[in-house]
């Protein structure tokens, strides 16, 4: 019986994003289940390079080289790890036409972005509606995001729900000094995450002894450091960069906060709840109420309501605030479920997709 013996996937960087972290966990699972996996990546260096699993074949190459690489290696399936990368999937389909293997993409971020004006919003909707023309299948991580993705991409009947494989805790980082009491943020220092909201909230919370730690790296570091200086928070805000095992830090945090403008299915919330740490999150994704599904686990606040953010942080920082019971992360069988999907696509006659344009 035909199987997806060889899976090819690609990325741009291993700088520490959640999409690439989940991608590497999936490749590890596929290799453990006996499949051959190739990663094509523009820049193989970065903090996540240490998480490349044994047995993963890594090819350094830009996106424009992917059609040639796919012709040469003849993989059974191409896996697109996030909707940030679907433009590359479209290029592969155009270049290879009928010789293209099935392409499966994961909807890693919200179809409706919160940072677009009217023109970009309309263009983005147009682009998403074309995904059915070059993707064979789409994977979302929760039922709510699957329904949203199917409507946006017009891929009804071709969307599956498979959560990311769980993040596993490694040894604690002994060289990372942490304050006694702190709020924790985990994510890239990029506009989407809106860490400026959290820094501004720190200046207003009642507990002046609580610090803020944000784990991650990105282009906004200088701007965030300037904000910290302007508010006189140098002694209370810590930006130590990327940390390989945020779970060990989450266990020590009083609360984990996510202040994004838009998200897909934020793994950081599931990771925090898995170690019994409460969360405060903006309403930046339809998946967040699926994760923070009871007031005992955390608080969801409007994206542009700084008073609500401060009030939620104050509530969870109160001395008598109970910590939630640990919630196991889903996705223990994610790698196997992906393989079952891949195998079904390889076995089925590949239906002709409509023209891209």
Measured at the CA of 243, the angle between CA 237 and CA 248, to 5 degrees, comes to 90
Hey, is 296 helix, strand or coil? coil
Spatial strand order in the sheet of 182-186: 237-241, 211-215, 182-186, 255-258, 279-282, 298-301
Distance separating alpha carbons of residues 130 and 244, to the nearest angstrom: 36
Q: Which residue bears the tokens 């223990």?
A: 332
175: pLDDT strictly greater than 70: no
Query: Residue 170's pLDDT is what?
Result: 59
The pLDDT value given to residue 81: 96
Please provide residue 230's backbone torsions phi and psi, each rounded to the nearest 5 degrees.
Answer: -65, -30
Is 329 in a helix, a strand, or coil? coil
Q: 292-349, pLDDT tens digit by residue?
A: 999 999 999 999 999 999 999 999 999 999 999 999 999 999 999 999 999 999 988 7
Find the helix or strand (DSSP H, E) in which 87 lies.
Answer: helix 86-96
Residue 272 is predicted with a pLDDT of 97
Q: How far apart are CA 34 and CA 23, in angstroms?
A: 17
Beta bridge partners of 104: 79, 137
Smallest Cα–Cα separation from 276: which of 308, 322, 330?
Answer: 322
Sign of the dihedral through C-alpha 21, 23, 69, 72: positive
Residue position matching structure tokens 């040469």? 72
% residues pLDDT > 70 (the chain): 95
Residue-wise burial string across 179-206, b where 16 or more C-beta atoms lie within 10 A, e elsewhere: eeebbbbbbbbbebbbbebbbbbbbebe
Q: How confident is the model at residue 179 (pLDDT cuts 50, 70, 90)?
A: very high
* Contact between residue 153 and residue 138 where contact means Cβ atoms under 8 Å apart: yes
Cα distances (Å, whole numbers) of residue 244 to 40, 43, 146, 247, 299: 22, 18, 29, 9, 26
* Distance, CA of 331 to CA of 250 (rounded, Å): 20
pLDDT given at position 168:
77
Tell me what the pLDDT averaged over the chain comes to: 92
Each residue's pLDDT tens digit, 41-58: 999 988 888 889 999 999
pLDDT tens by residue, 125-139: 999 999 999 999 999
List the beta bridge partners of residue 249.
none
pLDDT of residue 46: 84
Nearest by Cα to 265 from 15, 3, 7, 18: 18
Q: Which of 89, 84, 79, 138 is nearest to 110 (CA)?
A: 84
- In this model, does residue 220 exceed pLDDT 90? yes
The count of other CB atoms within 10 Å of the CB of residue 87 is: 13
């Amino acid at each position: 019986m035909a199987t997806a013996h060889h899976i090819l996937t690609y990325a741009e960087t291993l700088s520490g994003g959640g999409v690439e972290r989940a991608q590497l966990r999936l490749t590890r699972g596929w290799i453990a289940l006996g499949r051959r996996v190739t990663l094509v990546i523009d820049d193989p260096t970065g903090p996540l390079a240490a998480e490349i699993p044994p047995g993963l074949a890594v090819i350094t190459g830009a996106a424009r080289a992917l059609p040639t690489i796919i012709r040469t290696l003849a993989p059974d399936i191409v896996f697109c790890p996030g909707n940030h990368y679907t433009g590359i999937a479209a290029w592969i389909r155009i270049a290879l036409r009928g010789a293209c293997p099935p392409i499966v993409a994961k909807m890693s971020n919200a179809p409706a972005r919160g940072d677009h004006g009217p023109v970009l919003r309309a263009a983005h909707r147009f682009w998403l509606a074309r995904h059915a023309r070059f993707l064979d299948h789409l994977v979302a991580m929760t039922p709510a995001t699957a329904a949203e993705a199917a409507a946006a991409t017009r891929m009804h009947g071709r969307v599956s729900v498979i959560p990311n494989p769980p993040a596993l805790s490694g040894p604690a980082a002994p060289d990372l000094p942490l304050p006694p009491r702190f709020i924790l943020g985990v994510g890239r220092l990029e506009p989407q995450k809106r860490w400026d909201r959290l820094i501004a909230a720190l200046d207003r919370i009642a507990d002046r002894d609580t610090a803020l730690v944000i784990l991650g790296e990105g282009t906004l570091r200088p701007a965030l450091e300037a904000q910290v200086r302007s508010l006189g928070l140098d002694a209370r805000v810590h930006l130590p960069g990327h940390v390989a095992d945020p779970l060990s830090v989450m266990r020590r945090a009083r609360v984990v906060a996510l202040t994004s403008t838009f998200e897909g299915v934020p793994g950081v919330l599931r990771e925090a709840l898995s170690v019994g740490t409460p969360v405060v999150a903006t309403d930046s994704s339809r998946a967040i109420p699926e994760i923070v599904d009871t007031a005992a686990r955390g608080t969801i606040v409007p994206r542009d309501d700084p008073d609500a953010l401060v009030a939620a942080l104050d509530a969870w920082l109160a001395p008598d605030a109970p910590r939630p019971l640990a919630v196991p992360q889903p996705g223990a069988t994610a790698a196997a479920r992906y393989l079952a999907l891949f195998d079904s696509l390889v076995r089925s006659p590949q239906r002709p997709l409509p023209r891209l344009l």
